[in-house]
A = this chain, B = another copy of it.
Amino acid sequence: MKKRVGLFKGVLFFLMVGASFAFVAGAAHAGGGYDKYREVFEPLQAIPPIPADNQITPEKVQLGKMLYWDRRTSKTGATSCGFCHHPAYYGAEPMRKSVGINGDIHKRNAQTILNAAFLERQFWAGESKDLEEQALGAIKSHVASRSWPKEVAERLNRQPEYRELSIKVYGEPLTEENIGKSIATFVRTLTTPNYPLARWLNGDENAIAEQQKRGMALFADKGCIACHAGPNFSNSSYQKIIVPGGEGDFGLYERTKEEGDKYRFKVPSLLNVAQTAPYTHKGTVNDLPSMVRLMGREMLKTELKDDEVEDIVAFLHSLTGEMPQHFLVLPVLPTGGGEGDFGPDLLPSGKN
């Protein structure tokens, strides 16, 4: 609601300014008529919201990064957060759906972890209220890790390096709660505030090309921005859609059991969208032009023309930020510190 008022205010401001300076042709031309969109779009902040009870410290980030990559967080040792939310693929992965343990397949596509800290809730239907809950949810997931955070804590506390780092950060060895807090803290540092559109919004006229500006105008004027609003390009609402291959996945309904929530899914952020194919919660759309066309048809009830699609795709490329360098650097993890760490509980059952 506040957002919408801000948007109207912005448009009003533009109209007033436009009226006052209508004759200053040079100034009007500098922006190529796109200056009004500086009021419609907002650049991402550098720092996401941080919960009062989980402040960021360098040691906590380090601990979270170790856990993010440690395959011993999963029941069989086959996987960890980083395997599906992979830095090589901008915090996501190029598969339709993730492979969990024992070859099991998730029912939805893995979203990028980048800028997840700016989202109101996590997962495709907002199943987790925050990153702390999300991290533990993935560890406990029947498909992803099939593990129990308590067991993970016991297993990793046998490694002196984990035990000591956790005591340093929390005053106690690893627990379920501080595993969630640590991973969430690491994820909060994975933001990409420096992308071409943000630079343009901050005054660098040449940060985006003419075609991208046309796409930006179309994105706003055609109505994409109604849902893909705000700095994160998501207003956190749940919209109804049956995507290709999406029949039978009821989305929000599975959480609320309210009939009206059937096939509702959280509006995804569009930051770095050009780097995170395939698309939709089923991962069934291979490329960005097809996805833009689908959104036009399904959500805006309009058939976008070829050049409109091309312009919007060009615009979406202006949302690709710089990868956080520390996300690309892997930690070296403690191994061999205690007996039992590599025992049968780390073996996929019945297959060894």
Binding site for B on A (CB under 8 A): 69-72, 76-78, 83, 86-90, 93-97, 99, 101-105, 274-278, 283, 286-288, 290, 323, 328-333, 335-336, 338-343, 346-348, 351-352
A328-B335 in contact (CB<8A)? no
Our pick among B95, B103, B348 for the contact of A342 (Cβ within 8 Å) is: B95
Q: A99-B78, A352-B105 are in contact. Are A275 and B336 (CB under 8 A)?
A: yes
Q: Chain B nearest CB: distance from A328 CB in Å?
A: 5
A173→B289 CA distance, assembly (Å): 26
A339-B88 in contact (CB<8A)? no
Contacts of A288 in B (CB 8 A): 336
Contacts of A348 in B (CB 8 A): 99, 103, 105
Q: Chain B nearest CB: distance from A193 CB in Å?
A: 17
Contacts of A328 in B (CB 8 A): 329-332
B287-A336 in contact (CB<8A)? yes
A323-B332 in contact (CB<8A)? yes
Our pick among B95, B102, B287, B329 for the contact of A346 (Cβ within 8 Å) is: B95
A352-B96 in contact (CB<8A)? yes
Contacts of A97 in B (CB 8 A): 347, 352
Residue of B nearest to A338 (CB): B287
A274-B336 in contact (CB<8A)? yes
Residue of B nearest to A340 (CB): B286
B341-A94 in contact (CB<8A)? yes
**Residue contacts A-B, CB under 8 angstroms, 29 given:** A69-B88, A71-B93, A83-B83, A88-B330, A88-B331, A89-B333, A90-B332, A94-B341, A94-B342, A94-B346, A95-B347, A96-B352, A97-B347, A99-B348, A101-B103, A103-B103, A103-B104, A105-B351, A276-B335, A277-B335, A286-B340, A286-B343, A287-B336, A287-B338, A288-B336, A323-B332, A328-B331, A328-B332, A329-B330
